[in-house]
Every structure is written in C-alpha cells, then in structure tokens.
Amino acid sequence: MAGHTRERLLVIGGDAAGMSAASQARRRRGPGDLEIVVLERGGFTSYSACGIPYYVGGVVADAAELIARTPEEFRERGIDVRLRTEAVEIDLDRGRVRARDAEGAERWEGYDHLLIATGAVPARPRLPGVDASNVHGIQVLQDGIDLRRAVERDGPRRAVVVGGGYIGLEMAEALVTRGLEVALVDAAEQPMRTLDPDMGALVADALRGVGVGLHLGERLEGFETEGGRVTAVRTSEGALPADLVVLGLGVRPASDLARAAGIEVGATGGIVTDRRMRTRSERVWAAGDCVETRHLISGEPVAIALGTHANKQGRVAGINLGGGYATFPGVAGTAVSKICAVEVARTGLNEAEAAAAGFAFLSAAVESTTRAGYHPGATTMRTKLVAERRSGRLLGAQIVGEENAAKRIDGLAIALWNGMTVEEMTGLDLGYAPPFAPVWDPVLIAARKAAERVEEDMRACEAGG
C-alpha cells in the first residue's frame, strides 16, 4: 500500500501471554505490515511453568519437553525474540522502552503498540538465610533445572517445602517421588486454602498417606545456616532439619515496571485492562499473570496466575492487535491438581469467598463413585456444591477424589459460567455408561442434594415467615 508505514509491536515477556499475542498478531498481520519484537529476560520462550514439578519429580525426563516453541521457531515466523534482554523502563510519552542486554548494555526500543506480559513474581520472605544456595524458588524454567540438578547432584535426604498451595503440594509430591523425606510448612490450618476446610482435610490426609510430614498452623520464622547452606527451617513450633528448601509461597503480579511508568495498577497488584486487554494508557496492552481480571461470580477484580488464562489473554490481545475483535470475559476460579493418587478441583467461590462476596449460601457435599459401583476401577469421590439461598444459583464447586474425578469440574465450571441453578442442573444430560459414571453422575447427585437443601431452606423460611 503506498505511503503505508510498517508499525512496530514491542512485547515485554516471552512466555505464554507474550508469545500467544505475538503469534496471533503475526497470523493477522504480515512482517511487511507489523514488526514484532519480544524482549525476554530469561533464556527460554513459551515453556510450561506448570510442568516444572513434573520435571523435578522425573516424570518428565527432559526440560526441553516443557518448551512449546523455541525462539528459533518464533523467528522463523517473523517474530524477533531477544533473549536475556530485560525491559527496565517504559517511557509512555515517547513510546519507547529501555532494554538491557546480558552484558548490561542498554538501548531504547520504540513501539507503536506495547504489550506488557511480565508475568508474576514469587513471594520470597525477607528472612536471613533465604538466599542460601539450597533454598529454591520455583518460578522460571531455570529454577526447575537448578532444583533437579541439586537433587541429583547433592543427594539431599530431607526437604522442607514452605507453602501449601498448588505449587507447594506438587513440589512435595515431586520430592517424595525422588525419595526424599518431605515436610510441608504452612501458616494455615489446612493445605490448599482455596478449598473449604472439609475438603482440604481430605487433601491433608492424602499428603500424610504418602508420607509428607504436615506442619500446619506453623509460621515460617527463619533459616538456620551453616557454611552458606540452610540446615534447618525454623517455624513458630520448632526447627525442621533440611538439606533442601523449596519456597512455594505464591506469587504476585509483576507490575512494578508498569506502575513506575504510570500505567494503572489495581488493588490486587495486577495491571488494569479492559476486556480486549487494553490498559488505561494509550497504545499499551497487557496480558497474563501481570494483569488483574474479573471474577465472574464475585464480580471482584482478582489476580490469578495460571497458564491457561495467560494463553487466552495473550490470544485475545494478539487478535485485537492484529485488527480482529476478541474479548477475555473473566475467570471462574477453576483449578485442578493431582497430588500422587489424589485429584483435587475447584471452581467459583468456596464458602469463605461466597461469604466475603456477600452471598447467602447453602452447601451440599456427596460421596459417590467415579464409575458404576460394580465397574472395576470405580473409586469414591467427594463433590461439594455451594449454591445461593433462594435462587439456588450455583456459586462454586469442589471435588476431591482419585482417578477420573477432578476433570468433572469442567462441567461444573460451565454450569456456573451460565448462571445455572442447582435445580436446573439436576436435569442435565451428562454422559452415562458404566466405565465412565454411575447412572447418576456425581455432578447430578451433588446437584440433587443441593437442590433439596435449597428447597428445604425455602420451606423453612416460608414456615418461619
């Protein structure tokens, strides 16, 4: 096109969100129309951070398997990936970013469109000893490589995992798989606080069952070191000997760079965007763990670091940057995890979250089997639903079970997404055959129980009124 000037898209961060966006934008706009430059601080692109525990545990043999696409593959598609290059300042007025390479050399990179996909920063307690060589954070792929090397090289016997969230538990499993004696420390009285206590207790039982020592309700107070290495983890209840420490204390959005530039950051610490992933600053977009999004049930902004959201948001940003139209509607808070044989899943609001969001609610939990009771391999799973009083609208669901249990959360998440009531759900036409479900699927049994509770509550209200 005569007089047409090529535009430049600058992406900060070469993982899920950034590379999804770059790929989508490239699909819609060729290199003659849009130059795409990606600045990545680390040495890899597009890897599965969620796969790190499986690499450490040895379930995945080679770290390369976690890499979905290499920088070379992106370059072949006309995406200029610059590794070990960190963005250190955004200059909104001039539309440029100061980038520092591995040698410390700096230069300004201009942009017509900027996408911030800086990810998340793991929480790291400011305690003496935290920087010892045998204290491992788990964030980037290199962390996983370092940890596995330490396990294989140093032959540690005792590990302490700090933090009982998904990553902490998956790391505990990985280290148990590696033959280590593992202690798990968490300040809360249950692991996996995204579950209600009755469901979390089942996870705790499972962890104990595989030999993980649970130190719940214990606060991390410090590290005992010797020769630059931690020898014990001090908690509010005593000292736990450790040859190896893994920190799994959760993450916060990596939004400092954006905030420093004057880009709006919300109360969650995540960058604020609209549903097309545009920030409040012109020509600046953001996606992935560094942004906040809307929780579809509570209506509140939340920052949830999860690869699947990062990929979706990156795709949406990329389609829009490429001249298309796409939106990211928000999240339902769905998560699944597997700790040895135990499968755990949740979506929507748990009881505490429902209360905090101002909902009056009822809960119903049922035990049922994953397959027809007479079919080999049938195991017991517990399904819990949280429903709004009166309306009966599904607000949340939790599952703890074994093989074939957890992925049932998808159906519940979709019911939730569509605002279904538990009564409506009792009629759902779900797949039935003996190898897959009892004649009443656990999801339907839970819906029935919840619907009964809603009805009883309604009658009690009417009688009382």
Residues that bind a second copy (CB under 8 A): 16, 48, 50-51, 54, 59-60, 65-66, 166, 296, 306-309, 311-312, 326-329, 331-338, 343, 345, 347, 372-376, 404, 406-411, 413-415, 417-418, 420, 424, 426-437, 439-441, 443-444
Return d(Cα 28, Cα 320) in angstroms, integer.
Answer: 10
Please state the closest distance from residue 22 (CB atom) to a second copy, in A: 16
- What tokens does 351 get? 């009881």
CB nearer to a second copy: pick between 343 and 388 = 343
β-bridge pairing 113-116 and 284-286: parallel
CB nearer to a second copy: pick between 240 and 331 = 331
**Side by side, which strands form the sheet with 86-91?**
86-91, 96-100, 106-110
CB nearer to a second copy: pick between 53 and 269 = 53
CB nearer to a second copy: pick between 95 and 288 = 288
CB nearer to a second copy: pick between 395 and 406 = 406
Please state the closest distance from residue 391 (CB atom) to a second copy, in A: 16
Return d(Cα 269, Cα 254) in angstroms, integer.
Answer: 8
Q: What is the DSSP string of 151-201?
A: HHHH---EEEEE--SHHHHHHHHHHHHTT-EEEEEESSSSS-TTS-HHHHH
Please state the closest distance from residue 43 (CB atom) to a second copy, in A: 19
**Side by side, which strands form the sheet with 342-348?**
335-339, 342-348, 394-401, 380-388, 361-369
- Contact between residue 305 and residue 251 where contact means Cβ atoms under 8 Å apart: yes
- What tokens does 395 get? 């607000």
Beta bridge partners of 92: none
CB nearer to a second copy: pick between 332 and 400 = 332
Please state the closest distance from residue 365 (CB atom) to a second copy, in A: 19
Would you call 360 exposed, middle or buried from its count of C-beta atoms within 10 A (0-12, 13-18, 19+)? exposed
CB nearer to a second copy: pick between 5 and 418 = 418
Return d(Cα 74, Cα 332) in angstroms, integer.
Answer: 32
Angle at the Cα of 434 from the Cα atoms of 431 and 437, rounded to 5 degrees: 50
- Contact between residue 437 and residue 375 where contact means Cβ atoms under 8 Å apart: no
- Contact between residue 236 and residue 221 where contact means Cβ atoms under 8 Å apart: yes
Which of 447, 440, 382 minimizes the C-alpha distance to 416?
Answer: 447
Give the three-class secondary structure for 214: strand
Return d(Cα 75, Cα 449) in angstroms, integer.
Answer: 55
Return d(Cα 224, Cα 332) in angstroms, integer.
Answer: 41
Total residues found in the chain within this entry: 465
β-bridge pairing 120-122 and 301-302: unpaired
The residue annotated as part of the active site, out of 50, 290, 340, 461, is 50
Please state the closest distance from residue 299 (CB atom) to a second copy, in A: 15
CB nearer to a second copy: pick between 228 and 329 = 329
50 is catalytic: yes
Please state the separation of Cα 89 from the chain's center in Å: 27
Q: Residue ranges of the alpha helices (H) in 221-275?
A: 256-260
Return d(Cα 271, Cα 290) in angstroms, integer.
Answer: 6
Please state the closest distance from residue 461 (CB atom) to a second copy, in A: 17
| DSSP secondary structure letter of residue 420 | -
Please state the closest distance from residue 349 (CB atom) to a second copy, in A: 13
Please state the closest distance from residue 383 (CB atom) to a second copy, in A: 13
Please state the closest distance from residue 207 (CB atom) to a second copy, in A: 17
CB nearer to a second copy: pick between 256 and 403 = 403
* Catalytic residue annotation: 50
